[in-house]
Structure 1
């Protein structure tokens, strides 16, 4: 008996990947209709090992995935060896509405067998770095645009995308590195300017690519002490102190290798916004719990003072669980 599909309805298919394994996902629903259920990816080679927070206007995002998983070791004394971990050596672009994989490319030199890959996106370009190199691809076609496969004294730590592209590089001795922040042309890889971070800094994070804002930790405990906004030539524009862990910047909220992770910092063209932590105040011998506030900082003031004076809240009463 032959089954005939109803007109206007097609069974969802599974498009094979380069390795021949299916990437599961339903087709895009008809225009004007929302899908009745989500989708789920299935990769036998291993899980997603890196993602970007950015999504294009047409619903594309990039992920780093393992390629073909190495074969298991032979049994040894009636015990099977632990299953080897596949290196994170492939880059893929996915339609997040349907789960359809649009393309997948192996990283140059196999990503040097790395498991610490960073991925970001900007202006039609997907950029990946894996410590021993970096490469950029066209978001639509997957064509490689440029690559840096022979880092000398400096290595790429990670990139920040979005409205621009910033690279964080670590130079010299790994025990006492010198950090450099570079603005990079996404389509060519050309360095537009370089900002050298002061020596003695323990950690650097990229809070925003455009306008460029970096977060630095001066101590060895990883606590963020300052935010620095940079101008269009990479020079220091404003310094914003972050005393006594007062602000919820979330730059150091995880232990991953990602450098683009200040989720509590919102950067506009002229101002930067952060929330304060709830605090206790004492007035006339009485204690009062003050909910946290959203505070604005001017990106152009060299003193790093807040707009409209110190502790000038833009909103009141936003409770936080932290």
Structure 2
């Protein structure tokens, strides 16, 4: 069963950023995370990751929640908004600073250009009024974990990313810190999300270790790409999800998750589909990548407009 060994009850989550309406790729993640959580007999929560005001679209969070509801995806418990949780992030940051695991950094991106942006020691002596805060990554730091879809993943964090940012120089919280703190605070035991975040997972595991927090189980789902091979969220083809034919859209997403066809005859509501999907879901069938043909325009029209 897909469950962290540190927990007896499974709890998954879907955590969109309110930068626009949900598209096919984000809905695939929502359904996939729901299926993994329900397959484990656990709860499914929704968290709105609204920590980057310049990128947020007014009303997007409400639209996203309405879309989830239209597809029968209702969270257990209240929806959590990261913008209301600054005190939790500050407390975690202060713990890391107090133990010397985090430090002020006055280096600019330009100053780190010679190292490809990888910080292994400050390269400037000029102090800035708005320093970033970084995690001090030990030399030789290797993180290894088992992903339920991609198998064994290993990363030398010191060589791959270096000392990474926890709070940006503009005062905004970095994703890595916020997501680790929130997953622990919400009792999340399984993190199911897109494969574009696979590279971030070793950093988050290192932070969990530094803060003494449990490490969830991880599964990274295949990405939905446009015709040029770009992630749909970064593409002009990322149309909002159409909700007028939810059963047809859910069937397409189910296929993208590598699952055998479900008999749609007799199904009238998304809840009918989800009940059958919960019983039939086979996590081992989820593919690492979607073939180009699956993401072709004629295959996404069932979810997004032409």
Higher CA-based Rg: 1
- Settle same-fold status: TM greater than 0.5: no
- TM-score, scaled relative to structure 1: 0.23
Higher normalized helix content (fraction of residues): 2
Higher normalized strand content (fraction of residues): 1
- TM-score, scaled relative to structure 2: 0.23
